[in-house]
Structures are given as C-alpha cells and as structure tokens.
Amino acid sequence: MPLRSADLGALAPPRLIPGNGRLPVLLSVPHAGRDYPDWLVRLSRRGRDSLRPLEDPLVDRLVWRAQTLGLACVIADAPRAAIDCNRAEDELDPAVISLPPGTGHDGWRVRAGLGLIPGRLAAGGELWRRRIGPAELKARLDTAWRPYHRLVAEALAALQRRHGEVLLLDCHSMPWRSGQAEVVIGDRHGSTAAAFVTNLCRSTAEEQGFSAACNEPYAGGHIIAAHSAPVRGVHAIQLELDRRCYLDSAGRAPGLGFDRSARLIQAIADTVGKALLDRGALPLAAE
C-alpha cells in the first residue's frame, strides 16, 4: 500500500540530560537512536533490521559513568537512518531526496550514500523505496536535526559562561577493522581542539589499556566542526570506540568489556575537564 503524507509522522526529539556544570565538558550521542516509527520502516526496502547497521549501538548507555561526574548529555532518539545529526544540513543526496535539477552535494560522504539522510550501505544496498520530498525533509530537520544542534549550542554556551574553556565530547562507535586502533580521537586534523586536548584524550585512552590513534580513519564529522572554536576556548573531539570492546558477539547487547569502556569515557571526560579547569577558568561571578 502506498504511503500517504499523513503517515509520515514526526521523529522523536532529542533529549538533554542535565548536569551540575561542575566540569566544563558536554557529552553528545547522535547515533544511538533506535526509535523507528512505523512510517520509516514502511519506507525502507527491507525493514527495520536493514536500518540498524547505521546505529552506534547502546552508546547512550555507555556514557553513564561519565554522567556520574555531573556532565550534561545531548542524545538523539531519532535513528540515524531517518536523519544524521553528524552531517551538515546541505549534505543532500539527490538519489535520496527530491531536489531541483543540478542541486545536491558532491562530497565523499554523500557519494558513499551517507549524507544527511543515508541512502545506502555497502553491504545492504539501497535503503529506501522512493525519494523523499521537501516537506518530509523539513519535518525531519525541524523535529530532530535542528533541535539537536540547538541543545548542543545552548549547553556549550552555558558551560562556557561558567568556565570560560570547554570540551564537547561527541561519542560514537565503529566497526572492527584489521589494524585499526580500539579508540580513535578525531579533531579534524587539529582544527576542532587544541593539541593538548587531543593529546590528553589519546594518552588517557592508552593509560586505560586501549590502543589509540588520532584522525585515522575517522577525523570527525559535522557536530565537532559546527560547534568548535578552539581559539575562543570551545574544543570538540569525536570519540570512536571499537564495538568489540563493549558489545557481545552479536553486536546488540552489552559484552564483558562494557563497564571497562564506560570507565574509559569517564576517564577522558574527567581528565580533560580538570585540565581545562586548571588552565584558569573564569570565576563564577563573571556569569
């Protein structure tokens, strides 16, 4: 049965889990959403299971130890398959979205099928039965993408008013690849965080017993690019963790390394947060 426009409901909005603001660190979890509306599943070629490989499974739960430090966290409940908060608003794939002739984006992510609205997976092929229209795109932007970035911007601004220098820690997971480090620290090749922040993240991961690398193979996406300004004291890091470190063999439930991985994120947030405080935070009277 064809989908009617009335079937195309809004996406779940993002959540801000408040913190106490004592450390100048904000957590971001954009890819753990697993709320698949019926209309989205019906638009897919092969159902809900074909969309789940786009998730970063359970990363919203993996950050729980970091949250015990009093850190606020912005979480996307809409699935990445519906709209990717880690892509720019103009990363539009004309194979996925109905666009005027000659428009669209020719970046490598879009060419790979991983634009603002993902269109295909290397292993699974095309995701959708048809292209989506401008009204559907706007609804997804208005209910999920724009609120996510607004929450991140507002929470970072509040932390910076209190502390002067802050970190956005954008948390992701990655599939295992031969020769790849267990933890990848992304700062878009030095453009989204000062070198001492990147180096602290990497050394802390290694002290926790993980192999670590910087910017290879993941240098960071739109979230850290859009919300960072190191020269103004706003640092942003994309943290990628090998899923084998924290999931079971099926890749859907917590594994034996889940708590160790949660402690890793906690340690990075704590170490960098305290280092930023030690650099001379603004007094609370400046608020």
State the DSSP string of 62-103. Answer: HTHHHHTTT-EEEE--S-TTT--TTS-TT---TTTB---TT-
Counting other chains too, the contacts that 97-103 makes at CB distance below 8 Å and 24 or more residues apart are: 97/131, 97/132, 97/133, 97/134, 97/137, 98/131, 98/132, 98/133, 98/134
Instruction: Give the model's pLDDT for residue 7.
Output: 53
How high does pLDDT run on average in the chain? 93
**Confidence tier at 282 by pLDDT (50, 70, 90):** very low
Confidence of residue 10 (pLDDT cuts 50, 70, 90): confident
C-alpha closest to that of 60 among 265, 282, 273: 265
Give tens-digit pLDDT for 171-215.
999 999 999 999 999 999 999 999 999 999 999 999 999 999 999
For residues 13 and 147, give the distance between their C-alpha atoms in angstroms, rounded to a whole number: 7
The Cα–Cα gap between 122 and 274 comes to 41
Percent of the chain exceeding pLDDT 70 equals 94
In the three-class reduction of DSSP (H, G, I as helix; E, B as strand; rest coil), residue 239 is classed as: strand
Q: Please, which pLDDT band fits residue 8 given cuts at 50, 70 and 90?
A: low
pLDDT at 239 over 90: yes
| 0.85 exceeded by pTM | yes
Q: What is the pLDDT of residue 92?
A: 95
Q: Does residue 76 carry a pLDDT above 70?
A: yes
Average pLDDT value for residue range 122-148:
93
pLDDT at 142: 96
Tell which wins on pLDDT, 276 or 100: 276
Q: Does domain 5-38+52-84+141-279 have CATH number 3.40.190.10?
A: no
**pLDDT at position 122:** 83
Task: Tell me the pLDDT band of 280, cut-offs 50, 70 and 90.
Answer: low
Q: Which of 261, 262, 223 is nearest to 67 (CA)?
A: 262
Considering just the CA atoms, what is the radius of gyration of the chain in Å? 19
In which band, very low, low, confident or very high, does the pLDDT at 103 lie, cut at 50, 70 and 90? confident
